């Protein structure tokens, strides 16, 4: 077990290193560095050139790329992502601000997905091929094929504009500060509805199908026949013996999807004017804000690796048959 | 392997051996939803290919000032690369300033067989942001261009991006997957690590970052999607090759002295193709989605060219005045994604014989 964890940590570090090197060099190869973008408005060519050189020096862009990379890693080791090239603020502060809007929607949508799709999955598996199973799985399949930003556009058009039921721009209405606490909460909740729905509905089909499929596979196992044979009630067989065992693959599915949900969605956040990580990334790319892009790439990669690692470990905890010794 | 077995048993009595793909197709035809999906895909493909004679500001066949012309047909032929060297539009229609609709004069004996949608995707035909009417079935956009015509021509973009980007991804994925799976050792280690690294970036982030320094155009979008989507295929191919490499027929071929390159290309790869095909079908749906999304963000197809994503974007920018552009683009994207998903799902069921038994 210990050697397994060690091995995973080492390979994880190597991968992380590879990711940071690749993204660093990719970003540096981009024509149009931040200094150039920021000086493009200056009309006087001589002034523009002078400011350009000064900015490059300020950002450290005049040094060779490997030196820049070494500097970046050196700061990263002490937990410093540097300052934004765009507005000079700390990158960690910018990310900290954008983190909660994205994280709250992600967690909310994730919880909703599990709460809704688990009963659907179980019920469909029990009544396999029945009316409920077929109609729900067809319906969810259609939903699954609706891209989330397409749904977002339609919801904004109908619920937001035509029927004027829900807000769809940002997290708060104008005049949020003058509202009572209760009013603020109600306002915030309303703003969450559409974007959370867009993040949730696609996963619904995926998760309920997944739960149904796994349960069907488990139900065919011998130990379920044993449980039935010894006279256990159907309820106990399904919930206690079958469902708990069908959860194991779910862990890896969660491990696979969670990091990407946490990364936010560029289009959805941009569409709903949501001040989250996806929009921050999009804006940073437009502004060639290298430190922010690097930090976001690094954090996402860390999340992907970390969560898959945790998922793999949890696998071993819930399923004693899995051994880490090789 | 089970597929191989069934192939043998079914062909035992028959004089002409039916190929694996023939059998797969027969099974595929039995799935109603899969066939519906395939039909929608075919229709989309046809619409894309025939777009110049479906929506064009110039007629299919016309008589103008005594001569007979067929400008839209020439546009259709020009869809095949290289044909513009052989056949060109006749004189007045070739000129950018020539407006046939204005020059059209029935009293001179002019007549025209118009395309079903009489407006070109870039033609400024009416008032901007007009709602649906009998002349413009889906209304017009912010520049007064016919939305239906732009939808038709947007299909070309989606189909091109879907198929060509996956083409790039398949070639890269198969090459690297085969090398990693067959050679093993250091090559496998390096390629597998690299795949893992690429997969750690959310695809959309990666694409956005790459596009930030490629000038946005449909070609670059295709290349970038291809370059980021190959890893999934490579992983699939690697796994399949690893599995097939150990089979008896691979061993037989090896012991007959077949060289490695030939062994991979002739004996291993064809048997690994089926699962790859499934992921390619889903990949096309994803590419179409990514293209529309990128165009929506302004990184894909550039105005005045039409794509479903840019139409959606015009709708978003004129939400309060011209919502009529949003539903058609949404329906088109949804239909394309749904039909490719249906085909992919059916293919998977058909190719994996274990699932077949389960359904029976």
Please state the three-class secondary structure of A154-195 as a single string: HHHHHHHHHCCCCCCCCCCCCCHHHCCHHHHHHHHHHHHHHH
Q: Are A297 and A19 in contact (CB under 8 A)?
A: yes
The verdict on A144 touching B (C-beta cutoff 8 Å) is yes
Residues B245-250, mean pLDDT to the nearest whole number: 84
pLDDT band at B358; cut points 50, 70, 90: very low
Q: How far apart are CA A80 and CA A297, in angstroms?
A: 15
Question: Is residue A89 classed as helix, strand or coil in its secondary structure?
Answer: coil
Tell me which of A163-167, B17-21, B135-139, B236-240 is least confident. B17-21
Mean pLDDT of all residues belonging to chain B:
81
Whether the per-residue pLDDT at B278 is higher than 60: the answer is yes
The pLDDT score that the predictor gives to residue B21 is: 79
The pLDDT score that the predictor gives to residue B164 is: 93
Q: Do B330 and A150 touch (CB under 8 A)?
A: yes
Q: Do A150 and B333 touch (CB under 8 A)?
A: yes
The verdict on A286 touching B (C-beta cutoff 8 Å) is yes
State the DSSP H helix or E strand holding residue A115, giving kind and residue range, or none if neither.
Answer: helix A91-126
Phi, psi dihedrals of residue B63, rounded to the nearest 5°: -115, 125
Q: How far apart are CA B294 and CA B305, in angstroms?
A: 14
The verdict on A270 touching B (C-beta cutoff 8 Å) is yes
Q: Do B315 and A157 touch (CB under 8 A)?
A: yes
The pLDDT score that the predictor gives to residue B299 is: 83
Greater confidence (A209 vs B207) lies with A209
For B44-68, the pLDDT digits (tens) are 999 999 888 888 878 888 887 777 8
Q: Do A281 and B205 touch (CB under 8 A)?
A: yes
Token readout for B209 is 């970052």
Residues contacting residue A26 through CB under 8 Å, at least 6 positions apart: B209, B210
The pLDDT score that the predictor gives to residue B172 is: 93
Among residues A264, A296, A256, the alpha carbon closest in space to that of A199 is found at A264
For B307-338, the pLDDT digits (tens) are 999 999 988 888 888 788 889 999 999 999 99
Q: Do A153 and B312 touch (CB under 8 A)?
A: yes
Of B194, B292, B327, the CB nearest to A154: B327
The pLDDT score that the predictor gives to residue B158 is: 92
A261 burial level (CB within 10 Å; 0-12, 13-18, 19+): buried
CA B61 to chain A, closest CA, distance in angstroms equals 38
CA A278 to chain B, closest CA, distance in angstroms equals 9
Q: Do A285 and B323 touch (CB under 8 A)?
A: no
The pLDDT score that the predictor gives to residue B14 is: 47
Q: Do A29 and B213 touch (CB under 8 A)?
A: yes
Residues B96-103, mean pLDDT to the nearest whole number: 74
Q: Do B213 and A161 touch (CB under 8 A)?
A: no
Cis peptide before B304 (omega within 30 of 0): yes
Q: Do A285 and B208 touch (CB under 8 A)?
A: yes
Phi, psi dihedrals of residue B69, rounded to the nearest 5°: -130, 160
Residues contacting residue A302 through CB under 8 Å, at least 6 positions apart: A16
CA B21 to chain A, closest CA, distance in angstroms equals 27
B 200-229: CB under 8 A from A? 200-202, 204-205, 208-210, 212-213
SS (HEC) of chain B: CHHHHHHHHHHCCCCCCCCHHHHHHHHHHCCHHHHHHHHHHHHHHHHHHHHHHHECCCCCEEEECCEEECHHHHHHHCCCCCHHHCCCCCHHHHCCCCCHHHHCCHHHCCEEECCCECCCCCCECCCCCCCCCCCCCCCECCCCEEHHHHHHHHHHHHHHHHHHHHHHHHHHHHHHHHHHHHHCHHHHHHHHHHHHHHHHCCHHHHHHHHHCCCCCCHHHHHHHHHHHHHHHHHHHHHHHHHHHHCCHHHHHHHHCCCCHHHHHHHHHHHHHHHHHHHHHHHHHHHHHHHHHHHHHHCCCCCCCCCCHHHHHHHHHHCCCCCHHHHHHHHHHHHHHHHHHHHHHHHHHHHHCHHHHHHHC
Of B202, B296, B319, the CB nearest to A300: B202
For A239-298, the pLDDT digits (tens) are 778 887 777 777 777 777 776 666 667 888 888 888 888 888 888 888 888 888 888 888
Q: Using an 8 Å CB-CB cutoff, list chain A residues near B338.
A: 142, 145
Residues of chain A short of pLDDT 50, as ranges, are 326
Residues B32-41, mean pLDDT to the nearest whole number: 91
Q: Using an 8 Å CB-CB cutoff, list chain A residues near B315.
A: 153, 157
Among B32, B205, B231, B317, the residue to mutate for chain A (most A Cβ within 10 A): B205
The pLDDT score that the predictor gives to residue A71 is: 82
Among all residues of chain B, which has the CA nearest to that of A16? Answer: B197
CA B255 to chain A, closest CA, distance in angstroms equals 31
Whether the per-residue pLDDT at B220 is higher than 60: the answer is yes
Q: Pairing relation of β-strands B67-69 and B111-113?
A: unpaired
pTM above 0.90, yes or no: no
Q: Using an 8 Å CB-CB cutoff, list chain A residues near B208.
A: 266, 281-282, 285
pLDDT band at B3; cut points 50, 70, 90: very low
The verdict on B190 touching A (C-beta cutoff 8 Å) is no
Q: Do A161 and B320 touch (CB under 8 A)?
A: yes
For B146-175, the pLDDT digits (tens) are 888 899 999 999 999 999 999 999 999 999
B254: region left, alpha or beta (phi > 0 left; psi from -120 to 50 alpha): alpha
Q: How far apart are CA A106 and CA A300, in angstroms?
A: 14
Q: Using an 8 Å CB-CB cutoff, list chain A residues near B327.
A: 154, 157
Q: How far apart are CA A287 and CA A271, in angstroms?
A: 19
Q: Do A147 and B334 touch (CB under 8 A)?
A: yes
A 152-171: CB under 8 A from B? 153-154, 156-157, 160-162
Could you give the strand order of the β-sheet that contains B67-69, starting from the edge strand earlier in sequence?
Answer: B67-69, B61-64, B111-113
């Amino acid at each position: 077990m210990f050697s397994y964890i060690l091995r995973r940590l080492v390979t994880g570090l190597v991968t992380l290193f590879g990711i940071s090197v690749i993204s660093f060099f990719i970003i540096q190869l981009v024509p149009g560095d931040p200094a150039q973008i920021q000086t493009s408005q200056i009309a006087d060519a001589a002034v523009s050139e002078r400011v350009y050189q000064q900015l490059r020096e300020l950002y450290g862009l005049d040094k060779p790329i490997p030196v820049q990379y070494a500097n970046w890693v050196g700061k990263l080791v002490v937990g410093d992502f540097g300052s934004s090239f765009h507005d000079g603020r700390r990158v960690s502060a910018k990310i900290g601000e954008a983190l909660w809007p994205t994280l709250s929607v992600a967690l909310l949508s994730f919880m909703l997905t599990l709460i809704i799709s688990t009963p659907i999955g179980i019920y469909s598996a029990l009544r396999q091929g029945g009316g409920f199973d077929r109609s729900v799985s067809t319906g969810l399949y259609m939903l699954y094929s609706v891209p989330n930003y397409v749904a977002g556009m339609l919801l904004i058009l109908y619920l937001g504009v035509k029927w004027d039921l829900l807000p769809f721009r940002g997290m708060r209405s104008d005049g949020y500060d003058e509202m009572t606490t209760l009013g603020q909460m109600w306002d915030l909740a309303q703003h969450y509805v559409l974007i959370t729905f867009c993040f949730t509905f696609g996963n619904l089909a995926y998760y309920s199908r997944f739960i149904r499929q796994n349960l069907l596979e488990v139900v065919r196992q011998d130990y379920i026949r044993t449980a039935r044979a010894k006279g256990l009630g159907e309820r106990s067989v399904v919930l206690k013996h079958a469902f708990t065992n069908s959860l194991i693959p779910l862990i890896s599915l969660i491990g696979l999807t969670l990091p990407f949900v946490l990364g936010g969605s560029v289009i959805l956040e941009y569409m709903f004017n949501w001040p989250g990580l996806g929009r921050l990334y999009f804006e940073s790319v437009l502004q060639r804000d290298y430190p922010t892009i690097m930090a976001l790439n690094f954090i996402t990669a860390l999340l992907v690796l970390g969560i898959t690692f945790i998922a793999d470990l949890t696998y071993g905890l819930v399923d004693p048959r899995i051994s880490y010794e090789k | 392997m089970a597929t191989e077995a069934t192939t043998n048993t079914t062909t035992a009595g028959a004089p002409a051996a039916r190929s694996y793909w023939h059998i797969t197709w027969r099974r595929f035809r039995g799935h109603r939803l899969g066939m519906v999906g395939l039909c929608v895909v075919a229709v989309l493909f046809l619409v894309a290919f025939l777009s110049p004679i479906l929506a064009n500001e110039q007629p299919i066949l016309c008589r103008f000032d005594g001569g007979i012309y067929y400008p839209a047909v020439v546009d259709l032929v020009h869809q095949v690369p290289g044909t513009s060297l052989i056949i060109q539009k006749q004189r007045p229609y070739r000129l950018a300033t020539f407006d046939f609709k204005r020059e059209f004069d029935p009293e001179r004996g002019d007549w025209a067989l118009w395309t079903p949608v009489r407006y070109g995707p870039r033609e400024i035909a009416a008032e901007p942001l007009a709602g649906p009417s009998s002349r413009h079935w889906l209304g017009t956009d912010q520049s007064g261009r016919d939305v239906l015509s732009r939808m038709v021509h947007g299909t070309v973009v989606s189909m091109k991006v879907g198929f060509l980007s996956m083409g790039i991804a398949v070639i890269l994925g198969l090459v690297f997957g085969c090398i990693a799976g067959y050679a093993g050792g250091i090559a496998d280690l390096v390629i597998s690590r690299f795949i893992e690294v690429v997969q750690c970036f959310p695809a959309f982030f990666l694409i956005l970052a790459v596009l930030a320094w490629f000038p946005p155009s449909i070609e670059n979008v295709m290349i970038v999607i291809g370059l980021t989507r190959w890893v999934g295929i490579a992983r699939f191919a690697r796994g399949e090759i690893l599995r097939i490499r150990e089979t008896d027929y691979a061993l037989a071929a090896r012991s007959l002295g077949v060289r490695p390159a030939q062994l991979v290309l002739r004996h291993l790869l064809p048997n690994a193709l089926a699962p790859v095909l499934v992921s390619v079908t889903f990949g096309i749906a994803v590419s179409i989605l990514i293209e529309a999304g990128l165009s929506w963000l302004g990184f894909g197809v550039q105005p005045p060219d039409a794509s479903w994503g840019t139409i959606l974007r015009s709708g978003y920018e004129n939400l309060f005045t011209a919502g009529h552009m949003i539903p058609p683009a949404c329906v088109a994207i949804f239909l394309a994604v749904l039909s490719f998903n249906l085909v992919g799902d059916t293919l998977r069921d058909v190719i994996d014989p274990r699932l077949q038994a389960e359904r029976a």
